[in-house]
């Protein structure tokens, strides 16, 4: 469910800030609310903060011309939004603090935004498996293996279905992970291979309790599920809170995502949007957000602050076992997009 949170915000100057407001749409549970409050106190700009749960939602909002000044698409969607003219260039690389962003992250974005005009990396993370270990071990009759087979191997999924298996409602990510698990890359497969992969997911679907990203952590903690494909930040936050959830990073590798601060073409308050993004680039602010959300900051100065502090913080590093999302061929992307609603709802795929 989308929610709007009103908060007083930052202003570029007294004149610019007067009577200003800013409409921001971001992923659920993906900022420290205190950051919004501090931005408002400093600038006087009132922020209306809306949340969404998947890339399709923000795409639909922009296609409808929703009144948004800042959005946070993932790398899956970023290039598509630029190509369709839904984002505006704002000289992102000229903002103070851009120069200290993680070079590997910037390389991942260069294919979509080579001139570095459209976006500033906000947070990054990966997809792993969140597990209620006692329940999963009971269903398997032994230790839980570190493998994507927990959600993709028919025999393992069948055995775990007694205690509940879920996958994320994120079509390209799920298909990309399945294809990688089978030794291929989403960007290199054709329609036939993609069709067979979707058919295979359709065969697994009756054994998934649901396809979604809203309630899986609570359900794992409550014992309603035992294995869920998970955003790592969600799982780490649950672990830190003492919930019955353990993050497993599969040995086949993890899919890395980067979420990007962007300004829609239809934005009404471009200067306010740039001020907001500049504020989030401050190392102390970026560190605060990473600490609150359990996702990773691409800001190298913020990372240094977190690593040098005495507090426990899971500061993951990009590694060889992590692979970035690579967009599929156009015809494959269309097939996935058209097939996913049926799979999500548990309807049989056409043969």
| Strand pairing category for 21-27 and 46-52 | parallel
DSSP result, 258-312 = EEEEB-BTT-S-HHHHHHHHHHHTSHHHHHHHHHHH-PBP-BHHHHHHHHHSSS-
Homologous superfamily (CATH) of 4-118+258-308 is Periplasmic binding protein-like II (3.40.190.10)
pLDDT in tens, 64-80: 999 999 999 998 889 99
Residue 7 has pLDDT above 80, yes or no: no
Q: 147 near 129, Cβ under 8 Å?
A: no
Average pLDDT over residues 187-194: 94
Q: What pLDDT does 322 receive? A: 62
Q: Which of 152-161, 183-192, 253-262, 311-320 has the lowest mean pLDDT?
A: 311-320
The DSSP secondary-structure symbol of 138 reads: H
Q: Do domains 4-118+258-308 and 126-253+322-345 have the same CATH topology?
A: yes
Task: Report how far apart, in Å, the C-alpha atoms of 297 and of each of 53, 73, 120, 350 are.
Answer: 20, 16, 12, 42
| Strand pairing category for 21-27 and 70-71 | parallel
Furthest C-alpha separation in the chain: 67
Domain ranges of the chain: 4-118+258-308, 126-253+322-345
Q: What pLDDT does 105 receive? A: 86
Only one residue has tokens 């269903």, namely: 139
Report, in angstroms and rounded to the nearest whole number, the Rg of the chain calculated over CA atoms. Answer: 20
Four-way CATH pick for 126-253+322-345: 3.30.360.10, 2.30.290.10, 3.40.190.10, 3.40.50.300: 3.40.190.10
Q: Which of 21-25, 75-79, 229-233 has the lowest mean pLDDT?
A: 75-79
The whole-angstrom separation of Cα 32 and Cα 36 is 7
Only one residue has tokens 């692979």, namely: 323
Higher pLDDT, 279 or 74: 279
Average pLDDT over residues 99-107: 89
Model confidence at 166, pLDDT cuts 50, 70, 90, reads very high
State the alpha helices, DSSP H only, in the chain. 14-17, 33-43, 55-63, 75-83, 103-109, 133-140, 149-152, 154-160, 171-181, 191-204, 216-221, 232-240, 270-280, 283-293, 300-308, 330-345
Instruction: Give percent of the chain with pLDDT exceeding 90.
Output: 67
pTM above 0.85, yes or no: no
Order of strands, sheet of 70-71, starting from the edge strand that comes earlier in the sequence: 4-8, 46-52, 21-27, 70-71
Phi-psi region of 129 (alpha: psi -120 to 50; beta: other; left: phi over 0): beta
SS3 assignment, position 21 = strand
The DSSP secondary-structure symbol of 163 reads: T
């Amino acid at each position: 469910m989308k929610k709007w949170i009103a908060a007083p915000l930052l202003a570029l100057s007294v004149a610019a800030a007067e009577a200003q407001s800013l409409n921001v749409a971001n992923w659920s549970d993906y900022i420290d609310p205190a950051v919004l409050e501090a931005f408002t106190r400093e600038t006087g700009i009132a922020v209306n903060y809306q949340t969404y749960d998947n890339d399709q939602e923000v795409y639909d909002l922009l296609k409808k011309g929703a009144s948004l000044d800042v959005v946070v698409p993932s790398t899956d969607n970023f290039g598509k939004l630029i190509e369709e003219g839904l984002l505006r260039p704002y000289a992102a690389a000229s903002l103070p603090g851009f120069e200290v962003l993680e070079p590997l992250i910037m390389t991942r974005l260069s294919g979509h935004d080579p001139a570095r005009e459209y976006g500033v990396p906000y947070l990054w993370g990966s997809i792993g498996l969140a597990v209620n270990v006692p329940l999963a071990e009971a269903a398997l009759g032994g230790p839980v293996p570190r493998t994507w087979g927990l959600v993709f191997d028919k025999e393992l999924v069948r055995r775990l279905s007694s205690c509940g298996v879920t996958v994320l409602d994120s079509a390209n990510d799920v298909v990309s992970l399945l294809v990688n698990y089978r030794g291929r890359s989403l960007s290199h497969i054709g329609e036939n291979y993609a069709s067979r992969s979707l058919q295979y997911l359709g065969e697994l679907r009756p054994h998934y309790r649901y396809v979604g990203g809203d309630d899986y952590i609570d359900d794992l903690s409550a014992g309603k599920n035992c294995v869920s494909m998970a955003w790592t930040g969600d799982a780490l936050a649950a672990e830190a809170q003492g919930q019955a959830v353990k993050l497993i990073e599969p040995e086949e590798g993890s899919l890395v995502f980067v979420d990007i601060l962007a300004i829609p073409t239809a934005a009404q308050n471009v200067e306010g949007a740039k001020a907001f993004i500049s504020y989030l680039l401050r190392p102390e602010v970026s560190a605060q957000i990473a600490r609150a959300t359990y996702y990773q900051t691409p800001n190298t100065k913020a990372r240094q602050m977190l690593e040098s502090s005495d507090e426990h913080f899971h500061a993951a590093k990009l590694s060889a076992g992590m692979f970035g999302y690579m967009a599929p061929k156009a015809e494959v992307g269309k097939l996935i997009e058209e097939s996913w609603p049926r799979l999500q709802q548990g309807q049989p795929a056409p043969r």
